[in-house]
Amino acid sequence: ANSRAEEGLPAPPCARGEYLGAVRPGEQQQVHQTGQRQDQRQEGLLLYAKSLQLEMKPASEEAKDWDNMRRMLRDFVGKRNHCPFKGPNDGHHVSYRRFRRRIIQRSSSEGPAASTPLATGGQREPRFDLEAVCQRLELDSPPRDHEPAQRHLQGNLHETELAGGVSHCGGGLVWRAAIHEHGNVQQAGSDERTHALQPFAVLDSTSVSQCGKSVLKLSAPSLLNDYYTNLLDCSCDGIIALALGSSVYLWNSETRALVGHLAPSPQPGRAYLQTISCLSWSRDGRTLCIGTRRGEMQLWDVEQKKSMRRLWSHQSVVMALSWKQQLLSSGTVLGHIHHLDPRAPSPLVGAVVQKEAICSLQWAPGEDCLASGSTEGLLCIWDGDIAGVTRSHQPITTMIQPSAVKAMGWCPWQRKMIATGGGLKDGELRIWDTDLGTCVTSANTKSQICSLRWAEKKRYLVTGHGLPHHQVTCWSSEFPSLSPLYQLRAHSDRVLHLAINSDSTPIFSAGADQHFHIWDM
């Protein structure tokens, strides 16, 4: 080292008390990310060691230390050659093997990690329900074995529909006649529980009609507890349509008897049943439209008990439906609004696009404008011109509230007034002037407003609520004031859906407690 210093050469690393190649004892097992650098470093170290052997003549103690250093270098090179890197990306495989080994070690003492790539060995949550998970999927693709051809519309708006709008494949709904059972409500044991699982089975009744009281309590098993669904409607003839799971049940509110139900047709080898997401009666009460989470809409002539047409106009969940005479408007979770004429060979006659997901849709009583509510709190008013398919069409008025506009309804006698209900974090009942785009009046309900209906003949507004009391509230509608008239309490969970008969006498409510109530007003 001294001789090299006299010649002006740098001292060897061992003379400066450093380890060769900066390989410290505590870091010998470290695996570097790129193998190319290590190979270059090894070649340089070997060449430098050979030069040291030629140039240096160490003493006996120094030679012993130098032998140990060379042995250390050989061991390191041997370990590198034992598991060489073939490319710059092989370091990721080593990291993955370490990650996998640690997951295996942890899985022996606790449950599988959320990000583990390993199979869980058949483990699952005790109350896991596949049907409940499938019901909550926001995007269900149409069946691949009979997927219709796509049409490329203006503005890159992709839509699908079957030729002629009619599907002859399986997977639709079929009519099932009602089975009338003559039994007493006061049953016991397993018979009582079985009776409660029958749709529209009488659970409690009151012989004396009292204003503001529930006169009839019926069962509604498998009613989906989803705030954004629209699963209850009443026709002008008093026929109640209620979607329970994958079926739609029809109940006559005048005779108080079950008419029948629409059930999925049996399909061999297919266990998944598409769930109903919304339904709506036509204004003449002859046609019932049913929207599903796969984007399909089915039209039924209930009087003739036959399917009229199946439409594949959407590729996402159908969230809301509304009729304008013989024209049908539908809104989806992707913000698409389609206007369809089921009588035409190509039913799609117009479409617009809203930025947010649509959760409510309703034509005005005069049918001159359409209101759409979004999950982001937008209330849009569209004009009655529905011809053409375009993205550039804009609403004539847009109003904003702090929560989703799911509960919404036009006032029948004040044609330019529309009511909306706020969600859980809002709880505000608002009346809007659609011409001015302003809120005329409001009332704080301090609860989630899940549903909303107008009673035209009685001239009051009805709202269904969630926490804390799960009540049905009737409001006086003497503009510009809102004051509650009745608080109807019988549900044990939020009142998701409301319907009112044409004579506005009874109020029908369906709640997340899977009960259906009839209120005498």
Q: Domains of the chain, with CATH numbers?
A: 201-206+213-520 (2.130.10.10)
pLDDT attached to residue 205: 81
For residue 466, give both structure tokens. Answer: 């969630």
From the list 506, 503, 501, 454, the residue with the least C-alpha distance to 482 is: 454
Q: Which stretch of DSSP H or E encloses residue 240?
A: strand 239-244
β-pairing, 388-389 vs 348-353, is: parallel
89 has pLDDT over 60: no
Q: For residue 75, name the pLDDT band (cuts at 50, 70, 90).
A: low
158 has pLDDT over 60: no
Please give the share of the chain, as a percent, with pLDDT higher than 90.
46
Q: For residue 179, name the pLDDT band (cuts at 50, 70, 90).
A: confident
| Contacts (Cβ under 8 Å, ≥6 apart) of 442 | 428, 429, 430, 431, 482
Q: pLDDT: is 57 or 403 the higher one?
A: 403
pLDDT attached to residue 501: 84
Give the residues across from 289 on adjacent strands: 280, 299
CB 311 within 8 A of CB 332: no
Give the residues across from 517 on adjacent strands: 217, 509
Is the preceding peptide bond at 480 cis, omega within 30 degrees of 0? yes
pLDDT attached to residue 191: 60
Q: pLDDT: is 326 or 170 the higher one?
A: 326
For residue 426, give both structure tokens. Answer: 């809002």
From the list 198, 204, 197, 193, the residue with the least C-alpha distance to 181 is: 198
pLDDT attached to residue 505: 78
pLDDT attached to residue 385: 82
In this predicted structure, which of 159-168, 207-216, 268-277, 315-324 has the lowest mean pLDDT?
159-168
Q: How far apart, in whole angstroms, are the C-alpha atoms of residue 16 and residue 5?
A: 12
What separation in angstroms does the CA of 277 have from each of 317, 330, 361?
7, 12, 13
Q: For residue 120, name the pLDDT band (cuts at 50, 70, 90).
A: very low
Q: How far apart, in whole angstroms, are the C-alpha atoms of residue 28 and residue 9?
A: 29
Q: What is the CA radius of gyration of the chain?
A: 35
What separation in angstroms does the CA of 397 have from each of 185, 378, 403, 404, 413?
52, 10, 18, 17, 21
Q: pLDDT: is 516 or 44 the higher one?
A: 516
| CA atoms within 13 Å, Cβ hemisphere of 379 | 28
pLDDT tens, residue by residue, 369-393: 999 999 999 999 999 887 776 666 8
Rounded to an integer, the average pLDDT of 129-154 is 38
Is the preceding peptide bond at 484 cis, omega within 30 degrees of 0? no
pLDDT attached to residue 282: 95
From the list 305, 179, 292, the residue with the least C-alpha distance to 246 is: 292
What separation in angstroms does the CA of 396 have from each of 356, 372, 400?
17, 12, 14
Q: pLDDT: is 59 or 99 the higher one?
A: 99
| Contacts (Cβ under 8 Å, ≥6 apart) of 6 | none
Taking the CB of residue 489, how many other CB atoms lie within 10 A of it? 16
Q: How far apart, in whole angstroms, are the C-alpha atoms of residue 169 and residue 175?
A: 16
Q: For residue 51, name the pLDDT band (cuts at 50, 70, 90).
A: low
pLDDT attached to residue 180: 61
List strands edge to edge, sheet with 297-301: 276-281, 287-292, 297-301, 306-311
List strands edge to edge, sheet with 428-433: 407-410, 417-421, 428-433, 438-444
**Mean pLDDT (the chain, rounded):** 76
Rounded to an integer, the average pLDDT of 257-279 is 82
Q: How far apart, in whole angstroms, are the C-alpha atoms of residue 284 and residue 124?
A: 49
In this predicted structure, which of 198-207, 410-419, 454-463 has the lowest mean pLDDT?
198-207
Q: How far apart, in whole angstroms, are the C-alpha atoms of residue 408 and residue 371?
A: 9
53 has pLDDT over 50: yes
| Contacts (Cβ under 8 Å, ≥6 apart) of 427 | 444, 445, 446, 447, 448, 449
Please give the share of the chain, as a percent, with pLDDT higher than 70.
63
Q: For residue 209, name the pLDDT band (cuts at 50, 70, 90).
A: low
pLDDT tens, residue by residue, 298-311: 999 999 999 999 99
pLDDT attached to residue 166: 34
Q: Could you give the dihedral angle defined by the CA atoms of residues 141, 147, 148 and 149, in that order, rounded to the nearest 10 degrees? A: 90
Q: What is the CA angle 382-383-384, rounded to 5?
A: 120
Give the residues across from 234 on adjacent strands: 240
Q: Which stretch of DSSP H or E encloses residue 464?
A: strand 460-465
Give the residues across from 474 on adjacent strands: 462, 486
Q: For residue 280, name the pLDDT band (cuts at 50, 70, 90).
A: very high
Q: For residue 291, name the pLDDT band (cuts at 50, 70, 90).
A: very high
pLDDT attached to residue 60: 59
pLDDT attached to residue 272: 58
pLDDT attached to residue 149: 32
- What pTM value is reported for the model? 0.67
265 has pLDDT over 70: yes
pLDDT attached to residue 399: 96
pLDDT tens, residue by residue, 314-373: 889 999 999 999 999 999 999 999 999 999 999 999 999 988 999 999 999 988 999 999
Angle between helices 35-55 and 60-82 (to 10 degrees): 160
Q: For residue 519, name the pLDDT band (cuts at 50, 70, 90).
A: very high
| CA atoms within 13 Å, Cβ hemisphere of 344 | 12
